[in-house]
Amino acid sequence: MRAIVFHLPGDEAFAERLVRTLQAERAGLELHRFPDGESLVRLDADVTGRTVVLTCSLARPDEKTLPLLFAADAARDLGAAKVLLAAPYLAYLRQDRRFHAGEAVTSRSYAALLSTAFDALATADPHLHRYHALDEIYRIPTRVVHTAPLIARWVAAQVERPLLIGPDSESEQWVAEVAAAAGAPWTVLQKIRRGDRDVEVSLPDVSAWQDRHPVLVDDIVSSARTMIQAVASVRRVGLPAPLCIGVHALFAPGAYEELLASGPARVLTCDTVPHASNEISVVEPLARALEELMEGTTS
């Protein structure tokens, strides 16, 4: 029997493409907010004995997570055989340790919450910094889509003589992989973060690459401070205006406009978070990841 896909508000376009790729059935999930702020969730299809896929990009997770958990619980309660989560962007991975006394390690708490509600999870490039794999915190089967080959294909087709640049040492894992797949050189900037929106970066010697087109690659663009500083630092050493590629277009209010105003040649992202800059799609590999999970989790 075909899987049945529900999505949260805002994820219509992604859900539509996912349904087509999976050849699944699409059904409506009604979400109503009561005047007191509570949510009513209603699944608009018979899920008895079916594999249910809930798709939700988890940017702005605090407003989405409770309705998502309610929907998963309702599906189970209504007799779904399995309930899978397709979260092209997975939230709460950056707080991967207690940076200051008394802080919650929200990556762990969030993983525990989702692990109780879903049978399996598929996502794209989770922000794994101090963790090496999702199964260090998730207790359900997970599949991860790597966007590096998709980005590399785009860069190889669209940019002549690219030089891949990561804005900080954390980004090395993506940049090195994209560069290897695109057959291009790469380097990373040194970054010092003093606060949420206070970031300083500096570029190592790039004199050997003055004839190349710089392409900045990072996983998350949130306040865009990191990207903006990286654009400035690339321009300072006399390289042409860089192309900025982010995987997850989180973009805090005003951040996209500020990044565009900082003088990049272009800004583009993957479609893991719906945004005007989406250009590279993860739908195909995410659908394949879900199929693997369905084979592994359905009886």
Ligand X SMILES: O=P(O)(O)OC[C@H]1O[C@@H](O)[C@H](O)[C@@H]1O
**Which residues in the 220-239 window bind ligand X by CB under 6 A?**
220-226
User: CB-wise, 17 or 225, nearer to ligand X?
Assistant: 225
* Stretch of 116-124, 136-144, 208-216, 217-225 contacting ligand X, by CB under 6 A: 217-225
Q: How far is CA 188 from the centre of its chain?
A: 21
**Site mask for ligand X (CB under 6 A), range 181-200, x = bound:** ------------------x-
Reading the block at residue 79, the tokens are 């007799």
Nearer to ligand X, 65 or 171 (CB): 171
Candidate residues 218, 243, 249, 270; the one interacting with ligand X per rule CB under 6 A: 218
Which residue lies nearer to ligand X by CB, 81 or 165? 165
Q: Is 11 in the site for ligand X (CB under 6 A)?
A: no
- Based on the shown chain and the rule CB under 6 A, indicate whether residue 119 belongs to the binding site for ligand X: no
Q: What is the nearest approach in angstroms of ligand X to the Cβ of residue 229?
A: 8
User: 162-166 and 266-270: which strand pairing?
Assistant: unpaired
Number of residues that bind ligand X (CB under 6 A): 15
Q: Give me the catalytic one of 191, 213, 225, 248.
A: 191
Q: How far is C-alpha 30 from the chain's CA centre? A: 24
Q: How far is it, in rounded angstroms, from Cα 85 to Cα 120?
A: 6
The secondary structure of residue 89, as a DSSP letter, is S
Q: Which of 203, 205, 159 is nearest to 182 (CA)?
A: 159
Among 67, 167, 242, 285, binds ligand X (CB under 6 A): 167
Give residues 77-116 in contact with ligand X (rule: CB under 6 A).
94
Write out the two tokens for 55: 């798709």
In the three-class reduction of DSSP (H, G, I as helix; E, B as strand; rest coil), residue 119 is classed as coil
Stretch that binds ligand X, among 20-28, 149-157, 164-172, 288-296 (CB under 6 A): 164-172
Question: Cβ closer to ligand X: 221 or 243?
Answer: 221
User: Closest distance between ligand X and the C-beta of residue 220, in Å?
Assistant: 4
- Dist. CA 294–CA 272, nearest whole Å: 21
Q: Tell me the C-alpha distance between 208 and 221, whole Å.
A: 28
Work out how close the CB of 282 gets to ligand X at its nearest, in angstroms, rounded to a whole number.
Answer: 17
Question: From residue 233, how far is each of 199, 243, 247, 255, 270 by CA, in Å?
Answer: 12, 13, 21, 18, 24
Examine the residue annotation and report whether 64 is marked as an active-site residue of this protein. no
Q: Can you tell me the distance from the alpha carbon of 250 to that of 62, in angstroms, rounded to the nearest whole number?
A: 14
CA atoms within 13 A on the CB side of 133: 7
Does residue 170 touch ligand X according to CB under 6 A? yes
The minimum distance between CB 56 and ligand X, in angstroms, equals 21
CB 71 within 8 A of CB 29: yes
Q: Per DSSP, what are the bridge partners of residue 32?
A: 40
Q: What is the set of active-site residues?
A: 191
Binding site for ligand X (CB under 6 A): 94, 167-168, 170-171, 199, 218-226
